């Protein structure tokens, strides 16, 4: 079994978590944690303009970058679907 990816969350994304309703936070954190073992889960969408990916969690979107060489996933933004 391949080693898990390291998960990093940028400061701006951390701040956004504090603004999200508590009922959604647990599911978002679980979804982010799942990126460690499966950095490209079903439903992931590659963003065409940048080397970034987007995954849905309810009305929220998690934007992240994957570095396969270093085995790292970096969450760069968490936002409501109307903002992304």
Q: Is residue 65 part of a domain?
A: yes
Number of domains forming the structure of the chain: 1
User: Per residue in 37-77, pLDDT tens?
Assistant: 999 999 999 998 788 999 999 999 999 999 999 999 999 99
Cβ atoms of 54 and 63 closer than 8 Å = yes
> What is the domain range of residue 50?
6-80
User: Per residue in 2-25, pLDDT tens?
Assistant: 679 999 999 999 999 999 999 999
Q: Is residue 1 part of a domain?
A: no
Phi, psi of 46, deg, nearest 5: -80, 130
Provide the CATH number for the domain around residue 27: 3.30.2310.20
CA distance 66 to 35: 10
Q: Is residue 61 part of a domain?
A: yes
Tell which residue, 74, 73, 76, has the closest CA to residue 3: 73
Cβ atoms of 64 and 5 closer than 8 Å = no
Q: Is residue 69 part of a domain?
A: yes
């Amino acid at each position: 079994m391949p080693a898990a990816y390291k998960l990093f969350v940028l400061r701006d994304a951390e701040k956004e978590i504090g603004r999200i309703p508590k009922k959604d936070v647990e599911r978002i954190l679980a979804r982010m944690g799942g990126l460690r073992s499966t950095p490209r889960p079903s439903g992931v969408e590659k963003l065409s303009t940048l080397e970034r990916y987007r995954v849905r969690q309810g009305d929220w979107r998690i934007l992240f970058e994957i570095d396969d060489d270093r085995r790292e996933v970096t969450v760069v933004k968490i936002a409501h679907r109307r903002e992304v």
